[in-house]
Chain A
Amino acid sequence: MSAHDIDHSLDSFGDSTASATRVTPGNALRPEDIAIAQDKPSEQVAEYALRLGDDALILAQRLSHWISRGPEIEEDIALGNIALDQLGHARSFLSYAAKAWDKTEDDLAYWREEEEFRSLHIVEQPNGDFGVTIVRQLIISIYQHLLYTALLESSDETIAAISAKAVKEVDYHRDHAIAWTLRLGLGTEESARRMRHALDILWPYVGEMFEDEELHTALGDVAVAPSSLRAAWDEEFTAVLKDAELELPTVPFAMARGRRGEHSEHLGFILAEMQVLARKHPGATW
C-alpha cells in the first residue's frame, strides 16, 4: 500500500462539524452572539444576570469533576452533559452581565474575588458520593426549571431568550435527578440510607434559594422573586420524595448569604482551582 492510498483514505472523511463537541448546535443563542449584540443591560439587570450565571458556573465546576469518576460510564456522560449545559447557561448570563461594565465572561469568571461572586451556598456544596450529587441535582434542577419557566416572561429580552434555551435543558436535568432519586430511594437499604444522609446535609441550604432581595423588587418584571417559586418547588420536591419513599428532612435552614458575597468555606477552594492558570498569565488569551 502506498502513501497515496493512505492520503486518500484520510481525505475521505473529515466533516469535522459532525462532532458531538459542537458546543452549541443549530442556530441557538450563543454566548458569543450575546457578547456582540447591541443591547447593553443596566447595572441592575447585570447584577441579576450575575446571580443566574454564578449559580450555573459553580454548579458546572462541581459537576465536571465527575467526568471519568462516575459509577458507570453512562453517568460520566450524563453528568458531563449536565455540567456542559450549566456551563453554557453560565456563559450566556455572564456574557450579558459583563457588558454592563465593558467586560467579558472571562473577566467575570476569572478575575472577580470571592466576595464578588453571587452564587448560592447549595451549588458550592461538595459533590460527596453519588447520592449527595443526585440530591443536590434534584434540589437545583426543580428550582431552575421553575425559575427559567417563569423567566420566559421576563421583560428583558436577552434574559428571556437565554431562559428559553436553558429551560429545555434543565427539564432533562430534572428527569435525570428524579429517575436516580427513585432508583436510589427504592433500590437497596444502603442506597436509601445514603439518600437520607444526603438530604440531611444539603437541606440547610435550601432556604437561601427562596429569599427575595431588594433587587428583585427594583427590577419588576425583568426578574422573578424567588419566594414566588417556593410553593411549587415544595409540592414537586415533596412528591418526588414520597415516590422514592424518602422523607423531608427536619434539620433547620442555615443562614446563607451567598447573594451578598458571604460564601461557604468551599467557594475559596473552587475559585482557587478554577482561576489559578488564568491568573498566572494576566493579559494572555487562550
Chain B
Amino acid sequence: MAAQQESGGSLSAVLSPEEQAGQDRFNQIIADDSRIEPRDWMPEAYRKTLTRQMSQHAHSEIIGMQPEANWITRAPSLKRKAILMAKVQDEAGHGLYLYSGTETLGTPRDVLNEQLMTGKAKYSSIFNYPARSWADMGAIGWLVDGAAIANQVPLCRASYGPYGRAMVRICKEESFHQRQGFEILLELANGTEAQKKMAQDAINRFYAPSLMMFGPPDSDSPNSGQSTAWKIKRFSNDELRQRFVGMIAEQVKVLGLTLPDPELRFDAETGTWIHMELDWVEFKAVIAGNGPCNAQRLQRRRDAHNEGAWVREAAAAYAAKMARKTEVA
C-alpha cells in the first residue's frame, strides 16, 4: 500500500496483469524523472488531477483576458495599445494551447468550456478583481504574470509531457508580459504626481491577491503531497510564494514605490521572506463566487459563447457541405 500511495494514488481494486504492468511502468517513469505521454497507461487519479489542473489553468488564461481587454480601447499611447493587444492575444493562445494539452487526457474542449460557463470549473481567483485604472495594466503584468511565472517555471518539468512542453512555450511569453507590466509602472512612477499615485494604488490592490495565486498555505493544502509524489508539483505553495515576495521586494525599489506589507522582511536565520498574514477568508469567498467580478466574468464568457453559436453552427454546416462535395468528386 505504501508504495502505491507514493506514486500510483490510492488503489483499492485489484489490478489486472495489464494494469499492473502499466502501473509498474508508470512508477518507473516517475522514479526516473522521465515523462508520461498521452498513450501511456496512467492511474485514473493522475489523469483526473491533471485534467483539473490543466483545464483550470486554461480557464484562467481565457478569463484573464477580460480585465486587460477592458483597457485596450483606452490605452494612453498607440505603442502601449499595441503591446497590450498583443499581450491579451498571447493569453488567448495560452488558453488554446492548454485546452489542447488537456484534450490529450481525454476530455474534449467543449466539455471543459461547459464546465467553465456553468461555474463547475474554477479559475485563478485574481481575475475576479476589477482592472480600474491604467496602472492596473502595469500591476497585472508585473505581479500577476510574475506570480504565474514563478508558479509555472517549475511546471516546465512536470511529469506529464504535454503539460511540461506547453509550460516551456508559455513561460517564454510570460516573461515578456511581466516586463511590459513593469515598464508601465516604471513610466508611471517617474511621471506626474497623479501617475505615481495611480501606480501605487494599483500595487496596493494587487499585492495580496497576487500572493494568493500560489494557493493556500502548506498547512492547508491537502492535495499537494500527491501532486509532489507524481512530480507534477516541484515546490510547495509557501516556498514559491516566499520566493516571489523576495523578487518583488527587490524590484519595487527600482520603482521607488512600496509594497503594502508592514511585516515584510527577510529572515536571515531561516533564509526566507516573511510577509503579512493573507486574508484566506476573502480568498475562499472569491473562489466560491463572491468576488467583485465573478458574475461579470462568467457572463461575458457565456455571452460570447451564446452570441457565437450561429457562427459555429454555420461553420460546421459549411464544413459538412464541403466534405460531401469532395466525396462526390
Contact = CB atoms under 8 A, between A and B. Distances in A.
Interface string B84-110: 011111101101100100000000000
A281 B192 contact: yes
Contacts of B83: 21, 23
Contact of A70 (B80, B154, B308): B308
B93 A130 contact: no
A155 interface: no
Interface stretch (B13-21, B117-125, B313-321): B313-321
B293 interface: no
Interface stretch (B201-209, B238-246, B251-259, B284-292): B238-246
Given A68-B88, A80-B88, A277 B318 contact: no
A105 B271 CA distance: 50
A87 interface: yes
Given A3-B271, A13-B156, A190 B313 contact: yes
Interface of B is mostly: helix
B131 to A, nearest CB: 12
A67 B304 contact: no
A76 B89 contact: yes
A129 interface: yes
Contact of B73 (A14, A110, A274): A274
B54 to A, nearest CB: 16
A106 B83 CA distance: 15
Interface in B195-226: 195
A13 B172 contact: yes
Given A77-B92, A84-B82, A71 B153 contact: no
A77 B173 contact: no
A186 interface: yes
Interface in A53-98: 57, 61, 64-65, 67-77, 80-81, 83-84, 87-88, 90-91, 94
A15 B168 CA distance: 11
Contacts of A255: none
Classify chain B's interface size.
35 or more
A12 B171 CA distance: 11
Interface of B: 62, 65-66, 69, 72-83, 85-90, 92-93, 95-96, 99, 134, 149-150, 153-154, 156-157, 168, 171-173, 175-177, 179-180, 184, 187-188, 191-192, 194-195, 234-236, 239-240, 242-243, 246, 271-272, 300, 303-304, 307-318, 321
15 contacts: A1-B236, A6-B243, A9-B153, A21-B173, A23-B86, A67-B92, A73-B96, A76-B65, A77-B93, A77-B96, A130-B311, A278-B76, A285-B77, A285-B191, A286-B76
Interface of A: 1, 3, 5-7, 9-10, 12-23, 31, 57, 61, 64-65, 67-77, 80-81, 83-84, 87-88, 90-91, 94, 105-106, 109-110, 129-131, 182-184, 186-188, 190-191, 194, 273-274, 276-278, 281, 283-286
